[in-house]
């Protein structure tokens, strides 16, 4: 079988297309032969085998060519001068004959005369055929020249930098090859090593030899070039000779305490930070951050003022990263970059007490991750090589959330170096008696079945499957939820039960405690205990606040002097602003007394300014609760002051009635909306005038220890 297959494979290989050539169509003319076509197209009659290779269906020789038939003839492909070997964000390229730009991602081929451009926050790496590389920063435009195949061996690679900044890397070159960079004001020849070349908006070029090779720079088309030694730089203005080389700023060194690892929960994005030692001649610093998975390619670059010596980058997925920092002096020359600060972002599964993954809200762009809200008992296993703890807890291989509030996850690696962690917000679950009694004092009678009605509240969601765990001597039933949202549990205190006891609210099927509450035992015949704390909260409350709103004064009011010249045109504009202060005292929560004083600057419809003032006292009846409806009734005085030639000054007795609603935003803050009718004397005999008033206020509530059950 092998003897039959092998010749076929060999024959197919002889006709296999060459990756360095492309085929074009040739139309056979009268009198053509393979030899004549070969002479015409390839320059030699003996090259006819190239025709045979790419046209296997011609049959046996000698070939009789039919005029009008099509032959496939080879020609060498035009090889790209360079390729885009890495790209971050928006990188574009354009051929010399094209007007439009194309997206130039990784692998995009660049031919002689092509332009490649990076836009805002974009970066690109371009690798030439001779393996030399340039790294383009944002807003940089480069024209690719390369060179002819023969010429490239002598002169190396050429590119033109129109604007922006590029960093060269020629460490892999051999045999004295060079990279020539043209700019609007200079020509630079680089041999080996690395260098940074920038072009500012005025066309001024700066050449910084960062080391490891040679750099020569000349102005425009001048043949006189100067050498730029390692760690020195030269500036070239348009039409001016290169400046004498000057030392570059010192390279910053990273702080030893920079973290080598950052821990985040699954689904989150991480933040990496780093600090460095200050450089004396630095005017600014440039920090470049990249991902090692991309071969050390820069993802972001930022200029930082000299007053800062640290950076933060947010929104990073798990992976290995690096950062470099360079100092920039007051002449915009940049030092060689620092050594790579290598770090990584690792993730771990953050689990709820029931074992489900805790959802993590995505962070806003450019901002660090917010604390993750979790229930008590949430946990995560620490990745290998780290130990972690929550808050002040000891470090270990597992972290379990306890307590309440925002707490920081602290971690260390095996070298005892600090690891960047994240924060969790442990939800607090509060237990109280259902209804209006917030004392939290629960009592059960020994040897009798007692049903406890529990009100659970928190700033976050808690599981719907809960249970009560009681000390020895107590029997408890399963918890069941009522229609109004409270929880019921039946409790029996046996002979061995000890008082007082602490009951725990746990997640059903687990040992995770979410909250606890005290329970006392009443012996047979023992009276129910009073709840002095609850009683204290229900009595002697004070409220103080401000209000604002509107009053519509009746056209028939009697707020004027007897000899007022405008007695017949006393009408006040329909809507007048009304502001004031109030103070209330509530001996019990349901009833109270309130004092108010206010001002209403307004004017008559005919245009004259007047000022209303008011002082009143009210009796208030209200329903307890977080949302509190109320009614009020009271009396006081309402007055008006104005110029003598308007309405003069007058004060009349008034009474009022109305109602509204209060909302307890917190235990010490109430928002209030009310509508009332202010009743005054009238210009019509034996009648009263009515002036409606709409007020919105805010008050502080004192002598309260908690808000109503949420």
Residue pLDDT, tens place only, 529-587: 665 544 445 578 899 999 999 999 998 888 888 777 776 778 899 899 999 999 999 98
**Could you tell me the two tokens for 329?**
């002096």
Selected residue with higher pLDDT from 99 and 365: 99
**Residue 194, domain CATH:** 2.60.120.1440
Torsion sign across C-alpha atoms 591, 593, 597, 603? positive
Predicted confidence (pLDDT) per residue in 325-350, tens digit: 999 999 999 999 999 999 999 999 99
* 708 occurs within a structural domain: no
- Residues 6+ positions from 271 with CB-CB distance below 8 Å: 262, 312, 313, 314, 315, 316, 368, 369, 420
Concatenated DSSP letters of 469-508: E--TTEEE---EE-TTS-EEEEEEE-TT--SSEEEEEEET
* 709 occurs within a structural domain: no
Instruction: Report how far apart, in Å, the C-alpha atoms of 289 and of each of 106, 421, 607, 675, 682 are.
Output: 19, 20, 68, 61, 79
**Residue 72, domain CATH:** 3.10.350
Instruction: Examine the domain organization and report whether 297 and 393 are in the same domain.
Output: yes
- Cα separation, 324 vs 338, whole angstroms: 5
Selected residue with higher pLDDT from 4 and 163: 163
Looking at the DSSP assignment, which residues form a beta bridge with residue 73? 24
- Cα separation, 391 vs 371, whole angstroms: 13
* 299 occurs within a structural domain: yes
Instruction: Give the range with max mean pLDDT: 154-163, 173-182, 612-621, 684-693.
Output: 612-621
**Could you tell me the two tokens for 623?**
């329903």
Instruction: Reduce the DSSP state of residue 53 to 3 states and report it.
Output: helix
Query: What is the model's pLDDT at position 148?
Result: 44
* 710 occurs within a structural domain: no
Instruction: Examine the domain organization and report whether 235 and 377 are in the same domain.
Output: no
Q: Looking at the predicted structure, is the pLDDT value of residue 709 above 70?
A: no
Instruction: Examine the domain organization and report whether 419 and 438 are in the same domain.
Output: no
Quote the distance between the C-alpha of residue 499 and its chain's center: 51
User: What one-character DSSP code corresponds to residue 652?
Assistant: E
- Cα separation, 668 vs 263, whole angstroms: 39
Instruction: Reduce the DSSP state of residue 450 to 3 states and report it.
Output: strand
Assign 353 a pLDDT band (cuts: 50, 70, 90): confident
Predicted confidence (pLDDT) per residue in 213-251, tens digit: 899 999 876 678 899 999 999 999 988 999 999 999 999
Domain that holds residue 380: 249-423
Query: What is the model's pLDDT at position 492?
Result: 93
Poorest-confidence range of 307-316, 418-427, 531-540? 531-540
Rounded to an integer, the average pLDDT of 15-42 is: 79
Query: What is the model's pLDDT at position 39?
Result: 87
Predicted confidence (pLDDT) per residue in 624-633, tens digit: 878 899 999 9
How deeply is 340 buried, as exposed, middle or buried, from its count of CB atoms within 10 A (0-12, 13-18, 19+)?
Answer: middle
Query: What is the model's pLDDT at position 690?
Result: 92
* 297 occurs within a structural domain: yes
Instruction: Examine the domain organization and report whether 387 and 518 are in the same domain.
Output: no
Torsion sign across C-alpha atoms 458, 462, 466, 467? negative
Rounded to an integer, the average pLDDT of 18-27 is: 77
- Residues 6+ positions from 2 with CB-CB distance below 8 Å: none
**Could you tell me the two tokens for 505?**
């609210």
Pairing of strands 501-507, 474-476: unpaired
Instruction: Examine the domain organization and report whether 264 and 402 are in the same domain.
Output: yes
User: Strand ranges (DSSP E) for 28-156?
Assistant: 70-76, 82-88, 91-94, 102-103, 109-110, 115-118, 123-128, 133-136, 141-144
Query: What is the model's pLDDT at position 349?
Result: 93
Looking at the DSSP assignment, which residues form a beta bridge with residue 286? 303, 326
Predicted confidence (pLDDT) per residue in 267-308, tens digit: 888 889 999 999 999 999 999 888 876 555 677 888 889 999
Q: Looking at the predicted structure, is the pLDDT value of residue 619 above 60?
A: yes
Is residue 182 a contact partner of residue 161, using CB atoms and an 8 Å limit?
yes
**Could you tell me the two tokens for 6?**
């092998």
Instruction: Examine the domain organization and report whether 288 and 151 are in the same domain.
Output: no
- Residues 6+ positions from 25 with CB-CB distance below 8 Å: 70, 71, 72, 73
- Cα separation, 421 vs 409, whole angstroms: 5
Locus of tokens 């050594």: 339
Is residue 107 a contact partner of residue 83, using CB atoms and an 8 Å limit?
yes
Instruction: Examine the domain organization and report whether 443 and 580 are in the same domain.
Output: no
- Cα separation, 623 vs 660, whole angstroms: 11
Poorest-confidence range of 246-250, 512-516, 637-641? 512-516
Predicted confidence (pLDDT) per residue in 112-150, tens digit: 888 999 998 889 989 888 788 888 989 999 998 865 444
User: What one-character DSSP code corresponds to residue 572?
Assistant: B
Angle (CA) 586-587-588 rounded to 5° is: 85
Instruction: Examine the domain organization and report whether 559 and 691 are in the same domain.
Output: yes
Query: What is the model's pLDDT at position 704?
Result: 54
* 678 occurs within a structural domain: yes
Q: Looking at the predicted structure, is the pLDDT value of residue 687 above 90?
A: no
Instruction: Examine the domain organization and report whether 254 and 216 are in the same domain.
Output: no
- Cα separation, 85 vs 74, whole angstroms: 29
Query: What is the model's pLDDT at position 535?
Result: 47
Instruction: Residue 230: count other Cβ atoms within 10 Å of its Cβ.
Output: 15
Is residue 106 a contact partner of residue 122, using CB atoms and an 8 Å limit?
no
Kindly compute the dihedral angle of the four CA atoms of residues 286, 287, 288, 291, in this order, to the nearest 10 degrees: 180
Last residue of a domain, one of 76, 104, 133: 76
User: What one-character DSSP code corresponds to residue 292?
Assistant: G
**Could you tell me the two tokens for 27?**
């139309």
Cis peptide bond upstream of 62, omega within 30: yes
* 356 occurs within a structural domain: yes
**Residue 447, domain CATH:** 2.60.40.10
- Cα separation, 371 vs 369, whole angstroms: 7
Last residue of a domain, one of 60, 76, 92: 76
**Could you tell me the two tokens for 578?**
């009304």
Instruction: Residue 327: count other Cβ atoms within 10 Å of its Cβ.
Output: 26
Query: What is the model's pLDDT at position 274?
Result: 92
Number of domains forming the structure of the chain: 5
- Cα separation, 138 vs 124, whole angstroms: 8
Rounded to an integer, the average pLDDT of 201-212 is: 91
% of the chain exceeding 70 in pLDDT: 89
Selected residue with higher pLDDT from 434 and 596: 596
Rounded to an integer, the average pLDDT of 680-691 is: 86
Cis peptide bond upstream of 500, omega within 30: yes
Query: What is the model's pLDDT at position 17?
Result: 45
SS3 content of the chain, % helix, strand, coil (to 5): 5, 50, 40
What values do phi and psi take at 53, rounded to 5? -60, -40
**Is this prediction's pTM over 0.85?**
no
User: What one-character DSSP code corresponds to residue 66?
Assistant: P
- Cα separation, 505 vs 376, whole angstroms: 11
**Residue 562, domain CATH:** 2.40.160.20
Q: Looking at the predicted structure, is the pLDDT value of residue 615 above 90?
A: yes
Last residue of a domain, one of 529, 549, 578: 529
Instruction: Examine the domain organization and report whether 92 and 143 are in the same domain.
Output: yes
Alpha-helical regions (H) of 520-600: 532-538
- Cα separation, 137 vs 413, whole angstroms: 35
Rounded to an integer, the average pLDDT of 515-540 is: 72
What values do phi and psi take at 680, rounded to 5? -125, 175
* 707 occurs within a structural domain: no
Query: What is the model's pLDDT at position 154?
Result: 41
**Could you tell me the two tokens for 463?**
């599981």
Query: What is the model's pLDDT at position 20?
Result: 67
Instruction: Examine the domain organization and report whether 355 and 367 are in the same domain.
Output: yes
Instruction: Examine the domain organization and report whether 113 and 186 are in the same domain.
Output: yes
What values do phi and psi take at 45, rounded to 5? -70, -25
What values do phi and psi take at 174, rounded to 5? -145, 165
Query: What is the model's pLDDT at position 228?
Result: 93
């Amino acid at each position: 079988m092998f003897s039959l297959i092998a010749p076929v494979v060999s024959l197919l290989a002889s006709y296999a297309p060459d990756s360095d050539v492309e085929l074009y169509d040739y139309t056979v003319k009268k009198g053509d032969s393979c030899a004549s076509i070969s002479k015409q197209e390839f320059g030699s009659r003996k090259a006819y085998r190239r025709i045979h290779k790419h046209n296997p269906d011609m049959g046996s020789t000698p070939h009789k060519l039919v005029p009008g038939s099509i032959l496939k003839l080879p020609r060498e492909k035009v090889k790209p001068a360079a390729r885009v070997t890495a790209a971050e964000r928006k990188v574009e390229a354009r051929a010399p004959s094209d007007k439009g730009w194309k997206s130039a991602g990784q692998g995009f081929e660049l031919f002689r005369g092509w332009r490649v451009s990076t836009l805002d926050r974009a970066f690109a790496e371009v690798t030439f055929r001779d393996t030399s590389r340039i790294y383009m920063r944002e807003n940089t435009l480069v024209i690719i020249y390369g060179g002819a195949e023969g010429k490239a061996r002598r002169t190396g690679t050429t590119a033109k930098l129109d604007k922006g900044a590029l960093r060269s890397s020629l460490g892999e070159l051999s045999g004295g090859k060079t990279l020539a960079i043209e700019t609007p004001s200079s020509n630079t020849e680089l041999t080996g090593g690395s260098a940074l070349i920038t072009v500012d908006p005025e066309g001024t070029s700066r050449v910084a030899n960062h080391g490891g090779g040679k750099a020569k720079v000349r102005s425009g088309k001048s043949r006189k070039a100067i050498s730029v030694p390692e760690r020195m730089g030269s500036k070239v203005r348009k039409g001016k000779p290169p400046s004498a080389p000057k030392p570059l700023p010192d390279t910053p060194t990273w702080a030893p305490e920079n973290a080598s690892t950052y821990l985040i929960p699954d689904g989150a994005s991480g933040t990496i930070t780093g600090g460095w030692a200050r450089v004396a001649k630095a005017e600014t610093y440039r920090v470049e951050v990249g991902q090692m998975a991309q071969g050390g390619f820069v993802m972001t670059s930022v200029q930082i003022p000299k007053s800062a010596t640290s950076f933060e980058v947010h929104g990073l997925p798990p992976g290995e990263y690096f950062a470099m920092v360079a100092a920039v002096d007051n002449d915009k020359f940049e030092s060689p970059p620092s050594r790579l600060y290598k770090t990584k972002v690792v993730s771990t599964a953050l689990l709820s007490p029931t074992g489900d993954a805790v959802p993590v809200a995505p962070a806003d762009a450019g901002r660090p991750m917010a604390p993750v809200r979790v229930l008590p008992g949430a946990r995560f296993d620490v990745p290998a090589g780290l130990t972690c703890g929550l808050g002040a807890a000891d470090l270990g291989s597992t972290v379990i959330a306890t307590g309440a509030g925002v707490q920081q996850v602290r971690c260390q690696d095996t070298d005892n170096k600090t690891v960047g962690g994240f924060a969790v917000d442990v939800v607090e679950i509060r237990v109280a008696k259902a209804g209006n009694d917030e004392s939290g004092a629960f009592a059960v009678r020994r040897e009798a079945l007692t049903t406890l009605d529990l009100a659970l509240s928190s700033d976050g969601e808690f599981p719907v499957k809960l249970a009560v765990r009681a000390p020895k001597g107590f029997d408890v039933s399963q918890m069941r939820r009522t229609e109004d949202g409270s929880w019921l549990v039946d409790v029996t205190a046996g002979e061995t039960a000890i008082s007082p006891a602490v009951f725990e609210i746990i997640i059903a099927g687990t040992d995770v405690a979410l909250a606890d509450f005290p329970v006392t035992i009443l012996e047979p015949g023992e009276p129910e205990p009073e709840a002095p704390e609850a009683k204290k909260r229900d009595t002697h409350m004070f409220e103080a606040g401000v209000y604002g709103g509107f009053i519509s004064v009746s056209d028939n009011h009697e707020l004027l002097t007897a000899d007022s010249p405008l007695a017949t045109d006393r009408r006040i504009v329909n809507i007048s602003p009304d502001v004031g202060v109030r103070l209330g005292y509530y001996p019990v929560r349901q009833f109270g007394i309130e004092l108010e004083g206010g001002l209403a600057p307004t004017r008559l419809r005919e245009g004259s300014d007047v000022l209303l003032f008011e002082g009143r006292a009210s009796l208030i009846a209200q329903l307890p609760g977080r949302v509190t409806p109320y009614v009020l009734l009271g009396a006081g005085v309402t007055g008006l002051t104005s110029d003598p030639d308007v309405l003069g000054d007058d004060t009349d007795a008034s009474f009022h009635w109305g109602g509204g609603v209060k909302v307890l935003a917190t235990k010490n803050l109430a928002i209030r909306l009310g509508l009332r009718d202010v009743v005054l004397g009238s210009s019509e005999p034996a009648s009263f005038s009515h002036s409606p008033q709409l007020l919105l206020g805010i008050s502080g509530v004192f002598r309260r220890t908690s808000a109503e059950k949420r």
